Structure 1
Amino acid sequence: MSDAIHIVCPHCNAVNRIPTARLGEGPKCGKCKKPLFTGHPAELDDRNFQQHLNRNDIPMLVDFWAPWCGPCRMMAPAFEQAAARLEPRVRLAKLNTEEAQATAAQFGIRSIPTMILFRGGREIARQAGAMGAEDIIRWVQAHL
């Protein structure tokens, strides 16, 4: 890793260059001044998905879900807990497949919830079905 990495702001989608050594110090966005890591998953959609996928220099775990999906709603608190534990090493994000149908189709999402772990803009692992927080964390760590 170089001495600085790029992190996309979950609030305004601006790309920030952060010294690697300062990643754990609560960096803020240079544009909107909000925290780059909140301990909560970022909300993505068709408009901002590619920006987060291609410009974040840290791995990104995306939960593809829908509001009508019972297992998705059951897994939401666990995904939230995983975000608090995995940041700032991994960006966790949620994508509502009802609203972001183009992105869901691009990745061939057929069942939800489905989690996809990306690194360097490419898919490196995929898991369908709801998981608890500890299982999510273990699964991510096993693939990084």
Structure 2
Amino acid sequence: MAIVFRRAQPADLNKIVAIFNESVDLPINDEVELITPESRREWLASFNDDYPLWVADDGGNVVAWCGLEPFYPHPAYRFSAEISIYVGQAAQHQGLGRRFLAFVDQQIRTGLPIKSVVAYIYQGNQPSQGLFKAAGFTYWGTLRHIATLNDRLHDLLIYGRTY
């Protein structure tokens, strides 16, 4: 894989949505139906220089994406971000998630105004927990029975990292 990490462009939206939709059927996903590019246009436009969205580009093919979004819409939290990362099924288990999180870490350390990053991970999502632990995130707490997925209550784990 000759991966280049770059800022997402509007032309990447279809592939970003397709990667997200690969996870819809997993038992640990918020969504119960496929999303559409049209439903995510405004979301894509909301990213900016302080809270970017990146893609992992493998020779012109987007294989993963990662975004930083405002943690909470209050000025006191302006230096905090929530992180999301999705790796396409064909690119999983090749170390791409770790490389992507290392890239994001470098971006934060060299210029983004972010001081804290929070990741929300469902308790049953062991691969994501391992990925974030390996990237230097620590367990910050649990929101017990916060989500109902497939008619079952689930805990949401909070992992975080400060800079």
Alignment TM-score, normalising by the size of structure 1:
0.28
Alignment TM-score, normalising by the size of structure 2:
0.26
Q: Which has the higher contact order (CA 8 A, sep 6+)?
A: 1
Bigger Rg, structure 1 or 2: 2
Tell me which protein shows more strand as a share of its residues: 2
